[in-house]
Amino acid sequence: MKEVTANRLSQRSDYTYKFNRKAGRHGWLRLTPAYSVRIVEELLSQAPRHLRVLDPFCGTATTALSAAYRGHDAVTIDINPFLVWLGRVKTQYYTEQTLNRAYQASEDVILQIHKGAVTPVSPPAIHHIERWWSPRTLEWLCQLQGALDQLVPPETDEGALLRVAFCRALMACSNAAFNHQSMSFRSEGQQLRLMQPDYAELFREEVSFVLAGARENPAGRTHVILHDARRLSTLSEGTFDLVITSPPYVNRMSYVRELRPYMYWLGFLSDGRQAGELDWLAIGGTWGVATSRLASWEAKQDILIHRELETLLERIAKPSNANGRLLAAYIRKYFVDIETHLSELRSVLSPGATVHYIIGNSSFYGELLPVERLYVSLFAKLGFKNISVCPLRKRNSKKELVEFDVSATM
């Protein structure tokens, strides 16, 4: 195994989702743990020929879209139905007529709201919705969604594009602040500036941003599928030459939690119970009911991935760490799930295929979890060859938290 040490790394925001914000379709909706288009582009630029590319953890479809822009065929899967919907809309081919219809429909929507000719929808059941939007903004969003439902069916291409613009608009006029890795709310002083935006203008801007991205059509074919990365042998999509992916990190980040405003408004979630159930299906999910399930979860299979992991889990689970046992179960389940995924992955790889896993290490109660080394052990155990670890960037000012590309071949 080739291993490169993580000396002199910088934080490189161009290697994070921040780089994607102005990159056309890649910038449509933000997902904090999305990786940078730049990482994917750099890896794809080494590809010598037309490839079949797989991303088993689609997220916002960064890999599939980049691969399709370069003319490759891409298949990507995710367990979250909202991300599958978004991935399909992002990788779709749009004609000029569709874009014109979308633009016309957006103007109709604004006109009908202005005339008071719209039946607003009821606000979604988001917990503490008043923290997200002021009463006036909420009223306008309910009208906007009511108008979209009346005038532009969601299953049409123009309907889908306008719903992406709707998602951007609902975030742009929310009190959500993204100063940290996880979302928080703006203070009251900061909210005042946003109390009465020109809503129609705000929606127009988002429509224009989305339609500009939609004009850049990908050349390659893409297929975005609702599927579980632990069941790849049932995928029926043939085999792949290249995998570029970023699996969930071992950092208790909940994608459902981060995506909940979009998911509630677009009808992918109707209550907190459902959100927890979906997070329990996801690898590394810990939100709501997922946490209580984890407390009683026991590994059915023996996962002696690494002696080092067993020793670390014992240290993390010690009684003086308040949630130590729960977190040790969380980490153990994560690696059981990843092992299941990687062993299923073998069944969809062509001989000589290359895989790149972009992952970060983590720290629990001051114990550094060497996630990259644990991936290396799993790849070796499953018979992968040419395993290599390349540090990419520091994740924050703490020097030990690093993002790596762990690669291997079949």
Q: By the criterion CB under 6 A, which residues form the site for ligand SAM?
A: 31, 33-35, 57, 59-60, 62, 77-80, 83, 228-230, 246-248, 255, 282-283
Residue 274: name the closest of 285, 284, 66 by CA: 285
Evaluate whether 51 touches 72 at the Cβ level (below 8 Å): yes
Give the shortest CB-231-to-ligand SAM separation in angstroms.
Answer: 8
Whose Cβ is closer to ligand SAM: residue 54's or residue 387's? 54
In the DSSP assignment, the letter for residue 156 is S
d(CA 198, CA 110) in angstroms, rounded, equals 12
d(CA 23, CA 26) in angstroms, rounded, equals 5
Whose Cβ is closer to ligand SAM: residue 108's or residue 237's? 237
Give the shortest CB-341-to-ligand SAM separation in angstroms.
Answer: 7
Give the shortest CB-142-to-ligand SAM separation in angstroms.
Answer: 28
Give the shortest CB-35-to-ligand SAM separation in angstroms.
Answer: 5
Catalogue the long-range contacts made by 225-228 (C-beta closer than 8 Å, 24 or more residues apart).
Answer: 225/75, 225/76, 225/77, 225/84, 226/77, 226/78, 226/79, 226/81, 226/84, 227/77, 227/78, 227/79, 228/77, 228/79, 228/281
Whose Cβ is closer to ligand SAM: residue 113's or residue 269's? 269
Whose Cβ is closer to ligand SAM: residue 37's or residue 353's? 37
Residue 103, CB-side half-sphere exposure with 13 Å CA sphere: 14
CA 38 → CA 41, 62, 386, distances in Å? 5, 10, 24
Give the shortest CB-58-to-ligand SAM separation in angstroms.
Answer: 6
Whose Cβ is closer to ligand SAM: residue 248's or residue 391's? 248
Give the shortest CB-88-to-ligand SAM separation in angstroms.
Answer: 14
Whose Cβ is closer to ligand SAM: residue 34's or residue 392's? 34
Give the shortest CB-406-to-ligand SAM separation in angstroms.
Answer: 14
What backbone torsions phi and psi does residue 202 show, to the nearest 5 degrees?
-60, -45
What backbone torsions phi and psi does residue 2 show, to the nearest 5 degrees?
-95, 130
Secondary structure class of 124 (helix, strand, coil):
coil
Residue entry with tokens 């159930």: 277
240: tokens are 């792949």
Whose Cβ is closer to ligand SAM: residue 52's or residue 230's? 230
358: tokens are 């972009």
Whose Cβ is closer to ligand SAM: residue 161's or residue 250's? 250
d(CA 3, CA 325) in angstroms, rounded, equals 32
Give the shortest CB-114-to-ligand SAM separation in angstroms.
Answer: 36
Q: Which helix (DSSP H) or strand (DSSP E) does residue 39 occupy?
A: helix 37-44
Whose Cβ is closer to ligand SAM: residue 32's or residue 156's? 32
129: tokens are 């919705």
Whose Cβ is closer to ligand SAM: residue 23's or residue 160's? 23
Give the shortest CB-190-to-ligand SAM separation in angstroms.
Answer: 28
Give the shortest CB-118-to-ligand SAM separation in angstroms.
Answer: 33
d(CA 382, CA 125) in angstroms, rounded, equals 44
